[in-house]
Structure 1
Amino acid sequence: MFSATRTAARRVANVAGRRNVSTVKEVLEEIVPERRALLAQLKKEHGSKTLGNVTVEQVVGGGRGIKYMLWDPSVLDSEEGIRFWGRSIPECQEVLPTAPGGKEMLPEAMFWYLLTGRVPTDAEAKQFQEELVGRSELPAYVEKVLDSLPKTLHPMTQFVIGVAALNHDSKFAAGYTAGMKKADYWIPALEDSLDCVAKSFTIAARIYNNKYRNGNDSSVPAIDKSKDLSFNFANQIGFGDSEGFVELIRLYNALHTDHEGGNVSAHTTHLVGSALSDPFLSYSAALGGLAGPLHGLANQEVLRFIIDMQKELGDTASDEKVVEFIWKTLNSGRVIPGYGHAVLRKPDPRFMALQQFGVGRKEVAQDPIFKYVDQLYKVAPGVLTEHGKTKNPFPNVDAASGSLLYHYGLTKFEFYTVTFGTSRAMGGLAQYVHDRILGLPIERPKSLSMEAVLALAQKA
């Protein structure tokens, strides 16, 4: 973590000229004309220019790498990793406010930053935190819906249902029905998005308590309005006394907020929102994508892999033994989970932040599971490079996240994606607000049959 003096200096530099405490809506009102003017300039001066050619491989390979989608809060570079409004993860860790007494950047501060592109002052982050926590209580009907679901129902399915049910009170849907102006769509979109993010933490906690604990309201602490969303989530599921877990959840949520727009959950939010479905329906659809094993389940697979390795090799093993285990896995036709990425060609900066979190805490660094995470980071890239079947032999974020949750006692693997879901709402819905600011149209790419693709390819 960066020094307090350096952090304070960067914050002063980033908020110069904003002496008064502003709300997130007030800041957005300032930037709305700028963003709309930039879009108009792009369309007028550069509308006919091409951004690249589309190959048959891209068409049949899931559209990977095709440049056709506006996404402002984050851009993913294959070498540098993710940047949020131009800042790397270390830079965000340096400038974004933390909770009082905490070391990790607040997810609420990251959400503000994703929405506005501006670093909040400590006072603005505190005000925003209080606003979000104030919105985090659930309507009684949503509680009843969640409580009525069978405990055997997958927690992600419950999450989809809970978020979709919030549509009942959508200000965007009500405003659209009443005939609001298109230029004003972003205002109720913001209101719904703030509600959705805030309430998703409480929905997640209620699902956990219903499924894995006794589900009795009297045993669940009330929301503490003086604390942040991460603390309240941790406290409501029984981990409020663990300073390490609370700090981990803050870091986890801040890191997982956004990873540009092409991933399934972010893209789904954007796609469904382009039909002017409200934020609750848009994000509930995104959660359905996040639940897929190719998107949100990877950290569980990593953890199972490491536990299997621990069972075979014991709590400690030499680098040579670990390398043998990796080759054994690869030679059996399986992959090393948590390694490789569709875009990245360097170690994932999100992994590095989580790995440094673990290394910096003695109780985590000595955990056999985390020690294997750290050891794999040192030896697996060399094996995978020699193996030659992966373009990126380095760890992604999932290589570390599950082991840290597991260390602190969150051992219900199928719930891990829910914690991912509370975070990803911030990135997807920040862009949802910007989609409405810019008045983007419904998304409708052209599709082709295989015969049509073959005919075009033969002509080319």
Structure 2
Amino acid sequence: MMNANFMEFEKNKLEELTELATKCSYIDPELFVKYQVKRGLRDLDGKGVLVGLTEIGEVHSYIIDENEIVPVPGRLIYRGIDIFDLVDGFISEGRFGFEETTYLLLFGDLPTREQLNEFEKLLSSYRELPEEFLNDMILNLPGKDIMNVLARSVLAYYTYDSNPDDTSVKNVLRQCMRLIGSMPTIAVYAYQAMAHYYDRKSLVIHPPRPELSTAENILHMLRPDSKYTDLEARLLDLALVLHAEHGGGNNSTFVTHVVTSTGTDTYSVIAAALGSLKGPRHGGANIKVCQMFEDLKQNVRDWKDDEEIENYLMKLLNKEAFDRAGLIYGIGHAVYSISDPRCILLKEQAEKLAKEKGLEDEFELYDRVERLAPQIIGRVRKMYKGVSANVDFYSGFVYKMLNLPLELYTPIFAISRMSGWAAHRIEEIVNAGKIIRPAYKSVAERRDYVAMKDRK
């Protein structure tokens, strides 16, 4: 244990070193303009810099008319199929869609009934964790952050794999399917361990059931009584489908391409993608939406008063409310401007669950904020494009209605996106591209080396 004197020394020294590290890391913002650096790999108009090609997913949000970018209602396309058509297909036929969507992303076509049955059978065989894995990696090493436990567990799979470094498509496909199948089990068990060891709750470990879908198994393993309604399971399934893929340019999928291009193993790639998704600017945004609404409900007396809600939203933008970051969380997206198709689909089904749960008033509050926030942002800020609600705006509300713990919101995203990451890893391997290495220009002044005796 560190004594008090060392702790005081460490505190003072770190403050000194932090100042030095910050000072030497600062770059004049004008230099980014001078050298035409496209920060965030985006042009000034928000259009992403083209760095690759993909056949897996497409995000469509604008058209070019006479060399002008014209925003259009957002579209999300999986392997050439519009997300609205895909969702309508399995919902209208009364089927769960995540497994079918995963098959489509991995293999390029919608499965026949026989192909889907065989694929589901294979995935269900991967849901059980390796022998002793539950004790060694989860119960004996509980963590307060489920995303970190997921990343640690994925890396641990390397040890349990008899052929971990083989990057042939066949072996990588086996590894990815194993992770797609087992990641829900790992996430739920990690939460149960955290709730038991840190919150002193009863330890509940339900084994996954082979006849259940991914969404059903999550609810079955999570709830002590294993009970859930059909609508609950189908809404969670929809959320999984909508988060499964979002083109190659989103941060965690781009990370998947970057790390895959080095030739490393599958487990290292997915652990890196998980680290990316954990960030609040990426996968953690729906948590911020929920926290923001809790603050709103405490500060807005009449949920049906547009003027009172507008005043609160204005305080958010002016950094006078909630976390004082100047943001209305869940509104706006790096790509979509007029609409996010995932938000539209999720909202439609969320309204049904809100009625089942008796939460119509809260749903209406979300609906009002969704309508008012873009108007206020448009008045207060100069925008190069319009803004609309994104998928995070309603996903957190959906998870809340499903009684999912806050700690599982981002892991649910990861469980879903694992399908897209797998497809993109295989695409990168098949096309055997170069190692991804963009350029950084050094703007440091050249200096002479100074001998130790002459340094001050």
Give the TM-score, by structure 2 length.
Answer: 0.78
Do 1:231 and 1:246's aligned partners in 2 also have CA atoms closer than 8 Å? yes
Q: Does 1:346 align with 2:329?
A: no
**2:115 maps to which residue?**
124
Do 2:192 and 2:203's aligned partners in 1 also have CA atoms closer than 8 Å? no
SS in 2 for 1:83: strand
Identity of aligned residues (%): 26
**1:163 maps to which residue?**
154
Q: What is the CA-CA distance between 1:342 and the residue it aligns to? A: 0.9
Q: What is the CA-CA distance between 1:205 and the residue it aligns to? A: 1.2
The CA deviation string for residues 373-410 of structure 1, in whole angstroms up to 9 with x for no partner, is 12212222222222234433200110100011112212
**2:326 maps to which residue?**
334
SS in 2 for 1:360: helix
Distance in 2, matches of 1:216 and 1:137, equals: 24
Closer, same or farther: CA 186–368 of 1 in aligned 2, 3 Å: same
The CA deviation string for residues 293-333 of structure 1, in whole angstroms up to 9 with x for no partner, is 21111101111111111112247322222222212222236
**1:46 maps to which residue?**
none
1:424 pairs, out of 417, 423, 436, with 417
2:37 pairs, out of 59, 63, 68, with 59
Distance in 1, matches of 2:435 and 2:161, equals: 20
Q: What is the CA-CA distance between 1:279 and the residue it aligns to? A: 1.9
CA RMSD of aligned residues (A): 2.6
Q: Does 1:291 align with 2:278?
A: yes
Closer, same or farther: CA 219–339 of 1 in aligned 2, 3 Å: closer
SS in 1 for 2:253: helix
Closer, same or farther: CA 139–372 of 1 in aligned 2, 3 Å: same
Do 1:58 and 1:66's aligned partners in 2 also have CA atoms closer than 8 Å? no
Amino acid at match of 1:417: T
Q: Does 1:242 align with 2:228?
A: yes
The structure that is helix-richer by fraction is 1
2:125 pairs, out of 110, 118, 134, with 134
Comparing 251-260 and 359-368, the one that deviates more: 359-368
Distance in 2, matches of 1:172 and 1:75, equals: 33
**2:102 maps to which residue?**
111
**1:441 maps to which residue?**
434
Amino acid at match of 1:309: L
Closer, same or farther: CA 316–134 of 1 in aligned 2, 3 Å: same
Q: Does 1:193 align with 2:176?
A: yes
1:300 pairs, out of 287, 301, 306, with 287
Distance in 2, matches of 1:306 and 1:323, equals: 13
Closer, same or farther: CA 384–230 of 1 in aligned 2, 3 Å: same
Q: Does 1:75 align with 2:66?
A: no
SS in 2 for 1:62: helix
**2:139 maps to which residue?**
147
1:220 pairs, out of 205, 213, 221, with 205
SS in 2 for 1:173: coil
Closer, same or farther: CA 349–272 of 1 in aligned 2, 3 Å: same
Do 1:186 and 1:434's aligned partners in 2 also have CA atoms closer than 8 Å? no
Do 1:81 and 1:349's aligned partners in 2 also have CA atoms closer than 8 Å? yes
SS in 1 for 2:421: helix
Do 1:156 and 1:291's aligned partners in 2 also have CA atoms closer than 8 Å? yes
Closer, same or farther: CA 163–387 of 1 in aligned 2, 3 Å: same
**1:22 maps to which residue?**
none
Runs of 5+ unmatched residues, structure 2 = 1-31, 43-47, 62-71, 320-324, 446-456
Closer, same or farther: CA 168–302 of 1 in aligned 2, 3 Å: same
The CA deviation string for residues 100-149 of structure 1, in whole angstroms up to 9 with x for no partner, is 955xx421111111112211123322321221011111112432112222
Give the TM-score, by structure 1 length.
Answer: 0.78
Select the structure of larger CA radius of gyration.
Answer: 2
